[in-house]
Amino acid sequence: MKLVFATNNKHKLDEVRKITAQHGIEIVSLADIHCQDEIPETANTLEGNALQKARYIQNKFGLDCFADDTGLEVEALNNAPGVYSARYAGNSHDSEANMQKLLHEMEGKNNRKARFRTVIALLIKDKQYYFEGIVNGAIATKKRGVNGFGYDPVFIPEGYDETFAELGDAVKNQISHRAKAVEQLDQFLASLNL
């Protein structure tokens, strides 16, 4: 079975391919289908953005596909940055600037509870499905670690003392929000016996 993952993010692609490989599901990227388009993400929810990206690919290429959207939801900031996580410090998708803005906004705040939430929208055989993964945790007071991407250096998952960036990919890929959503996707696809 071949499915398009509407992303060019190598980190996400690797993470998803590792999880789905056991069931013989071939995951191809936007680059693999020669899509260089800037796919719009204009919805105001994670579900809306994921569906918008998947629909764009299905409509243009006629392929079964899925897309994800992830948000970091910080309790003390009324769940910001949320759906705007990638663009928190502006439209340049600058992870460093996003983290610096977040750390600045969190200065002096005792409540550091946060969660990462990933939503996957799957469009297959003219039907749509959603899968959600959540990991609870807290925002560190400063950046720690060199692995991962995005907000990983400032997010400490529940039950750990280290940030995602300190834990490394092997641990992160077992406990992350995306891993939880992709595991649901993987189990669902395996159950279809396609």
- Catalytic residue set: 69
Contact (CB, 8 A) for 116 and 175: no
Pair of tokens at residue 2 = 């071949």
Q: Are 1 and 24 in contact (CB under 8 A)?
A: yes
Which one-letter DSSP state was computed for residue 79?
Answer: T
Q: Are 68 and 11 in contact (CB under 8 A)?
A: no
Omega before residue 157 within 30° of 0, cis: no
